[in-house]
Amino acid sequence: MKRQKYSAFSLLRNAFSHHEKWRQAWCHPEPRKSYDVVIVGGGGHGLATAYYLAREHGARNVAVLEKGWIGGGNTGRNTTIVRSNYLWTEAALLYEKSMQLWEGLSADLNYNVMFSQRGVYNLGHSLQDMREIERRVTANRLNGIDAEVVTPREIKAAIGIINTSRDARYPILGASLQKRGGVARHDAVAWGFARAADSLGVDIIQNCEVTGLDVVNGRIEGVQTNRGPIQSGRVGVVVAGHASVLAAMAGIRLPIESHPLQAYVSEPLKPVLDTVVMSGAVHGYISQSDKGELVVGAGIDAYNGYGQRGSFQTIEHAMQAIVELFPVFSRVRMLRQWGGIVDVTPDACPIIGGTPVEGLYFNCGWGTGGFKATPGSGWVFAHTIAHDAPHELNAPFGLERFTTGALIDEHGAAAVAH
């Protein structure tokens, strides 16, 4: 299939054609015998990595291998909150790089990822919460990131339907607000990166599961797949909740626990909530999608597992939290529930870099918060693979920090209980 070139006239031409005649946005090539770089995992991070490898580093012989369909993992299962208000400088700079890429992403990809900077509130319900919020806002500002502390009165003025009563079980004492934060359309992010990578010559191969990593004398030589072996001297693994499974194929044990994380959407409503509200204390967060559904999430399910479902008590807990914050939603009917598998590290920060196997790189451990990092993660991982060395932004996030002890504790800023 011929690769697409996009022009200002494509939209007009397609508007007048029947949709069956639309050309596919990316090709479906058969895997070649070998590639310069193989990326395992066709989520947002893997596709972004391939795109930036091609665009920033001139790589042309690149494949993305996806066991299912692109964006079918956590990329298509998350609640799409984007923010960069992390506590420590190392994390703040990495997430802020991503925020800056988000701000130009639709134009860069020539694909509307529906990035909507509608603001993100992180609520505080105790004096300790408020001290933590003030500390984080100050740290954010020192790193040049927009952040402010807002009072219950200001929160109520902005979000009329929120419950700021002092009599609530967990009264709202204030919040941090990042106005540049918001949401994006998750599928569009995968599709936009896929189309752009494809147009730069990247092979996107779906239904291609990696079943083994070929390591010879401490070097990666290729991968085994359900569609045959593929040779490559450079392999980047970006498989979110399945990172430990892939690492084990190369004899590596990662400091990662895999947990289900659930989300829910309601029946569609008229616009009632034009911002994002998160509360780590009551364990719930909520926004309203452009379709009108309330998009709701909670903390992780406490047990380890690979089932993309989640347990009933977490559903109950999340609904209690949301109804406590927004009593008006008590009569809304929920429509769908699902889970994704998140890979949580001991310091709630990602692992992005090389491994003891030469030519084998891992990008994982984003846990409950990697959607917001999609462009930034792909950008630094592409640099790492192209140069066989980390970019200064991801240098602190190497696997070695778990032996040197240079951990970056972001449990608080992760804002989701785990």
Chain positions contacting ligand FAD, by CB under 6 A: 40-46, 65-68, 72-75, 77-81, 209-210, 238-240, 242, 246, 261-263, 297, 340, 342, 366, 368-372
The C-alpha angle 180, 156, 315, rounded to 5 degrees, equals: 80
Interface with ligand PYC includes 285 (CB under 6 A)?
Answer: yes
Interface with ligand PYC includes 139 (CB under 6 A)?
Answer: no
Which of 283, 281, 223 minimizes the C-alpha distance to 249?
Answer: 223
Nearer to ligand FAD, 75 or 176 (CB): 75
Nearer to ligand FAD, 94 or 210 (CB): 210
Q: Which does 74 bind (CB under 5 to 8 A by kind): ligand FAD, ligand PYC, none?
A: ligand FAD
- Check residue 198 and give left, alpha or beta (phi > 0: left; psi -120 to 50: alpha): alpha
Output the 3-class SS for 10-74: HHHHHHCCCHHHCCCCCCCCCCCCECCEEEECCCHHHHHHHHHHHHHHCCCCEEEECCCCCCCCH
User: What CA–CA distances, in Å, run from 205 to 42, 160, 198?
Assistant: 8, 47, 11
CA distance 132 to 333: 34
Q: Which does 68 bind (CB under 5 to 8 A by kind): ligand FAD, ligand PYC, none?
A: ligand FAD
State residue 348 phi and psi, 5-degree precision: 55, 30
Contact 418, 369 (CB under 8 A): no
Contact 358, 216 (CB under 8 A): no
To ligand FAD, the closest distance from the beta carbon of 285 in angstroms equals 7
DSSP 8-state symbol, 2: P
- Mark the segment that binds ligand PYC (CB under 6 A) among 77-85, 128-136, 204-212, 387-395: 77-85
Q: Which does 238 bind (CB under 5 to 8 A by kind): ligand FAD, ligand PYC, none?
A: ligand FAD
Instruction: Pick the binder of ligand PYC from 368, 374, 384, 394 (CB under 6 A).
Output: 368
- Mark the segment that binds ligand PYC (CB under 6 A) among 39-47, 78-86, 123-131, 203-211: 78-86
Give the per-residue contact string, 238-277, with ligand PYC (x = CB under 6 A; - = no).
----------------------------------------
CA distance 71 to 41: 9
Say which amino acid occupies 190. A
To ligand PYC, the closest distance from the beta carbon of 240 in angstroms equals 13
Nearer to ligand FAD, 223 or 393 (CB): 223
Say which amino acid occupies 78. N
To ligand PYC, the closest distance from the beta carbon of 204 in angstroms equals 26
Instruction: Pick the binder of ligand PYC from 49, 79, 85, 314 (CB under 6 A).
Output: 79
Q: Which does 415 bind (CB under 5 to 8 A by kind): ligand PYC, ligand FAD, none?
A: ligand PYC
- Mark the segment that binds ligand PYC (CB under 6 A) among 79-87, 109-117, 199-207, 216-224: 79-87
SS3 of residue 125 by DSSP: coil
CA distance 398 to 396: 6
**How many residues bind ligand PYC, per CB under 6 A?**
9
Q: Which does 140 bind (CB under 5 to 8 A by kind): ligand PYC, ligand FAD, none?
A: none
The C-alpha angle 131, 342, 397, rounded to 5 degrees, equals: 65
To ligand PYC, the closest distance from the beta carbon of 252 in angstroms equals 26
| Helix residue ranges per DSSP H, 240-298 | 243-249
Q: Which does 383 bind (CB under 5 to 8 A by kind): ligand FAD, ligand PYC, none?
A: none
Give the per-residue contact string, 158-197, with ligand PYC (x = CB under 6 A; - = no).
----------------------------------------
To ligand PYC, the closest distance from the beta carbon of 343 in angstroms equals 13
DSSP 8-state symbol, 261: E
Nearer to ligand PYC, 145 or 250 (CB): 145
- Mark the segment that binds ligand PYC (CB under 6 A) among 34-42, 76-84, 102-110, 151-159: 76-84
To ligand FAD, the closest distance from the beta carbon of 14 in angstroms equals 27
Contact 258, 247 (CB under 8 A): no
Token pair 């790089």 is found at 97
Burial 231-245 (b: 16+ CB within 10 A, else e): ebbbbbbbbbbbbbe
Q: Which does 204 bind (CB under 5 to 8 A by kind): ligand PYC, ligand FAD, none?
A: none
Terminal CA-CA length for the chain: 45
Binding site for ligand PYC (CB under 6 A): 79, 81, 83, 285, 297, 368-369, 415-416
